[in-house]
Structure 1
Amino acid sequence: MPDRSSGSAFPPPALGDSLARGWDEPDEGLPPSDWGRPRGPRRTATVWLFALFIIALAAANAWLTDRLTNEAFLAWATIFTAISLQALPFLVFGVALSAALTAFVPVSFWRRAIPRNSALAVPVAGAAGAILPGCECASVPVAGGLIKRGVAPAAALTFLLAAPAINPVVLVATAVAFPGSPEMVVARFLAALGAAVVVGWIWARFGRTGWLRMPRADHDPDASKWRVFRESMQHDLMHAGGFLVVGGLAAATLNVLVPREWVIAVADLPVVSVLVLALLAILLSICSEADAFVAASLTEFSPTAKLAFLVVGPMVDLKLIALQAGTFGWGFVRRFVPLTLALTLIFTFVVGGVLL
């Protein structure tokens, strides 16, 4: 009998097949740990490049310590180091929890926990994202696995948006990055959850099955859960760590090199400053466990503009767009990303205007 998962003798199962078979089918396994991830030589090359980067930094530190004493450089280095050291523990903890969810929580759990009715399933999925942590890299394949096993696409996509934006690790990191400002934590939670739920409801009403191209499950069914955990954490830590470094470098550079009058000119324009930081969040693609520390360093911008950075980034950024396109197809991305971006901005302005 031909294997559905390895050949083309059978068409991919329809999204409703899981519902037609019922809920008592045995779990077919976890979502593949390598969806949207480079494999083989590419993954090894990434590890070696990161190792060489660390060695180069150490060598440069030993060689240039006595030479680079310019005040601007020292300020830049101080800002970059502070951002990185503050964010790193939350990044590691968040990646570990995300890998544990991928490896040890079967997709059948989500199938049983989320209602079949889309209108009810969407807020439940949003609340699940607030309870169970997961980074952007993990949320896309998990959402694909949920849809393949019969969960309403609108609910799975709501979880995809909510999990990296408002999970406990992210909220604690936000509280640490903005000490004495609990309203920023509340605003981030409300704006991100509201945007995720409304996106889900709109998709439930107007979304079409044909807009989603489901991936083929080609993972090794015999892989142990500990192996999935190890590989997931290794990849996500290397991937998210790289984006943290890029974000820290960009934030430090903005604080030191960009003329202060330029920053003040943009920061003093309420709408423009929000749009600028939203665009910056999309381009930097910082892991949500670390983005609060970068946002806090942008001291010239208003709280609402910083809120835009925190709400837009975990839901719409370059790496997420690439992962979504590889998993669900560009037809999905062309519809889903503009909708998500519009709603995140709307909720940022509304919640920021009320609370901040």
Structure 2
Amino acid sequence: MHDRGIDTGPRPATTSPTQAPPTSHSGMHSAWADDSDIPPDTWGRRPRTRRFSLPWAFLVVIALLVVGRFVLSPHLTAPALQTWATIFVAICVQALPFLVFGVTLSAAIAAFVPPSFWTRALPKRPMAAVPVAGMAGAVLPGCECASVPVASGLMARGVTPSAALAFLLAAPAINPVVMVATVVAFPNEPMMAVARFGASLVVAVLAGWIWLRFGRTSWIRVPEHRHEGSKVTAFLSAMRHDLLHAGGFLVVGGMAAATLNVVVPREWLDSVAGVPWLAVLTLALLAVLLSICSEADAFVAASMGGFSPTAKLAFLVVGPMVDLKLIALQIGTFGKAFALRFVPLTFTLAVLVSALMGWMLL
């Protein structure tokens, strides 16, 4: 059974507008059993009574890292430790402005763009809606953390799943913030940004078309979202949530990249990097494991000396489309049956298209 086109007709209400959601003794919604499509908004979050803002804590940590780099530098006598600290701080400091800007734009789009915009902007034919939705990622910034809820919201509003999935893959990879970050991270390789844009868009469109042709409605669960509170509240909540998660993964990715450059023997890296297909697979798998935000992954890739531009391109294309946090989000939002089919499809397409695009342009 193939995907259906856009359906803008009325949908039956699942709950009464005045009906309050059940709560447990802890004050959190306990309606997940009745609305099993997605976890409630409060699931996995701290109670609202706690005033401490975690994103500010992340910014404080980054500031301490920068200050500590200069304060502790005279005491870091081991060359390897000095190299590790320099690489780690450089990655975090370079990527932080793009990360904050991208998360801000993503939260603004999720909170302020009206639902009717999507049904008016996309063609009614699913085959044509897929590339249009993919290209929309070039003008509508969004990180990986935001792409899954946005895509599920599109499906809930009647957009064909294949088009929503194309947007899910393209938006974190080809949006303006990511493209500018890639140009800054690779100042001597201007074609890297071009290759990343082309390869990511091709993968998104191919994945959407393949799902349109072979996907079945029983494989994907379309959530029904409830939006509560004002738009400003939704914006601040989305920004706080995305910045916290993306910032944490940036720190982990920076530490891993710095460790890779210092701890792993250069001979081993040279042996892996010297085999083209092995280098591509190695960095593609590393992108899945590191789960770095797309606004920051270019700086991590640029720090991986010894690997070919094509292998780095595979890291940049695979990361925003397939990583551990995305797999978890997709399972929780669209179901395990969807993730078991869509994740291997996306990874395979990303590796093959990256290798081909790298051979042609880099």
Aligned residues of 1:178 and 1:184 also touching (Cα < 8 A):
yes
Deviations 1:281-334 (A, max 9, x none): 000000000000000000110000000000000000000001111100010000
Q: Distance in 2 between matches of 1:210 and 1:134?
A: 28
Q: Specify the SS of the correspondent of 1:323.
A: helix
Match of residue 139, structure 1, among 124, 127, 147 = 147
Task: Pick from 235, 244, 255 the counterpart of residue 238 of structure 1.
Answer: 244
Q: Does residue 1:297 correspond to 2:293, yes or no? A: no
Contact 1:247 1:284 in 2 (8 A): yes
1:313 aligns with 2:319: yes
> So what's the TM-score if we normalise by structure 1?
0.86
Distance in 2 (CA, whole Å) between partners of 1:34 and 1:74 is: 45
* Residue 118 (structure 1) aligns with: 126
Aligned equivalents of 2:121 and 2:8: distance in 1? 18
Larger mean Cα displacement after TM superposition, 294-303 or 204-213: 204-213
Aligned-pair CA distance for 1:111? 1.2
Give the Cα–Cα distance (whole angstroms) in 1 for the partners of residues 63 and 97 of structure 2.
23
CA RMSD of aligned residues (A): 3.0
- 5 Å-filtered alignment, 1:167-246, equals 167-220=175-228, 223-246=229-252
The 3 A distance-change label for structure 1 pair 300 and 153 is same
Counterpart of 1:72 (choices 63, 70, 80) is 80
**Counterpart contact for 2:62–2:92, Cα < 8 Å:** no
Superimposed CA distance per residue, residues 223-253 of structure 1 (whole angstroms, 9 cap, x where no aligned partner) = 1111111111111111101100011100110
1:61-94, CA deviations, whole angstroms, 9 ceiling, x for partnerless residues? 7996664321110111001111111111100110
CA–CA distance in 2 between the matches of 1:128 and 1:218?
Answer: 24
| Alignment partner of 1:21 is 2:9 | yes
**Structure 2: which amino acid aligns with 1:246?**
V
Q: Following the alignment from structure 1 to structure 2, what is the Cα–Cα distance between the partners of residues 43 and 353? A: 54
Shift of 1:108: 1.4
Partner of 2:336: 330
Relative to 1, partners in 2 of residues 1:293 and 1:208: Cα closer, same or farther, differing over 3 Å?
same
* Structure 2 CA distance for partners of 1:193 and 1:159, relative to 1, 3 Å: same
Offset of residue 107 of structure 1: 2.1
Q: Give yes or no for the alignment of 1:47 onto 2:35.
A: no
Stretch moving more, 147-156 or 67-76: 67-76
- The residue aligned with 1:26 is none
The answer to whether the 8 A contact 2:6-2:160 is kept is no
Equivalent AA in structure 1 for residue 213 of structure 2: R
1:17 is displaced (CA, Å) by 11
What is the rounded CA distance, in whole Å, between the counterparts of 1:52 and 1:203 in structure 2?
Answer: 40
The answer on whether the counterparts of 1:114 and 1:121 sit within 8 Å (CA) in structure 2 is: yes
Paired residues in the alignment total 333
Separation in structure 2 between the aligned mates of residue 75 and residue 190 of structure 1, nearest angstrom: 34
Cα 1:20/1:68, change in 2 over 3 Å:
closer
Quick one: which amino acid aligns to residue 293 of structure 1?
A: F
TM superposition shift of 1:124? 0.3
Match of 1:351 in 2: 357
Distance across 1 between alignment mates of 2:281 and 2:49: 35
- Deviation string 1:246-292 (CA, Å, 9 cap, x unpaired) is 11100110111111101101010100000000000000000000000
- CA shift for structure 1 position 20: 6.6
> Which residue of 257, 268, 274 corresponds with 2:274?
268
Is residue 97 of structure 1 aligned with residue 85 of structure 2?
Answer: no
CA change 1:354–1:104 in 2 (3 A) is same
Distance in 2 (alpha carbons) for counterparts of 1:20 and 1:104: 20
Residues 145-202 of structure 1, C-alpha deviation per residue, up to 9 Å, x if partnerless?
1111111110000000000011011001000000031110110011100010000001
Q: 1:280 aligns with which of 282, 286, 291?
A: 286
- The whole-number CA distance in structure 2 between the counterparts of 1:42 and 1:318 is 28
The structural deviation recorded for 1:41 is 4.1
Preserved CA contact (<8 Å) 2:102 2:295: yes
Aligned mates of 1:85, 1:63 — CA distance in 2: 16
Q: Runs of 5+ in structure 1 lacking a partner?
A: 1-14, 24-31
Question: Is the 8 Å Cα contact of residues 139 and 164 (structure 1) preserved in structure 2?
Answer: yes
Distance 1:310 1:36 in 2: 32
Verify the 8 A CA contact 1:36 1:323 in the aligned structure 2.
no
Amino acid at match of 1:260: R
